[in-house]
Amino acid sequence: GENVEQHPSTLSVQEGDSAVIKCTYSDSASNYFPWYKQELGKGPQLIIDIRSNVGEKKDQRIAVTLNKTAKHFSLHITETQPEDSAVYFCAASMIGDDMRFGAGTRLTVKP
């Protein structure tokens, strides 16, 4: 089955700097890669996703890149703000299979 690894486990940045979180997956058949943001006491919320027919996707300050050959994908947050502080999870899935999540990255944005 699919195995997803996520790095780093914790990340601290200064407000205004960029943050990058990286994930690798094991099954080349995976074709859907969402990113979730989880704030304290809440369920994970989808912030951006990418499918395997696309190499990059951007939504305002958030972007995701996918390298199918290397089987890794990354979340990029630019101009970070304190409200970006949360735990971020990557995930991977393929048709007919369940979604596997990374272990999560705790992002802290210092004002």
Partner 1 sequence: GAGVSQSPSNKVTEKGKDVELRCDPISGHTALYWYRQSLGQGLEFLIYFQGNSAPDKSGLPSDRFSAERTGGSVSTLTIQRTQQEDSAVYLCASSLVVAADTQYFGPGTRLTVL
Question: What does the binding site for partner 1 look like in residue numbers (CB under 8 A)?
Answer: 6, 31-32, 34, 36, 42-46, 49, 51, 89, 93-104
> Is 103 within 8 Å of 6 (Cβ atoms)?
yes
Nearer residue to partner 1 within complex by CB, 2 or 78: 2
Least distance from partner 1 to the Cβ atom of residue 45, Å: 7
Least distance from partner 1 to the Cβ atom of residue 101, Å: 4
What's the rounded Cα separation, in Å, for the pair 111 and 95? 42
Contacts for 78 with CB less than 8 Å, ≥ 6 apart: 18, 61, 62, 63
- What token pair was written down for 75? 């979340």
Nearer residue to partner 1 within complex by CB, 19 or 47: 47
Nearer residue to partner 1 within complex by CB, 74 or 93: 93
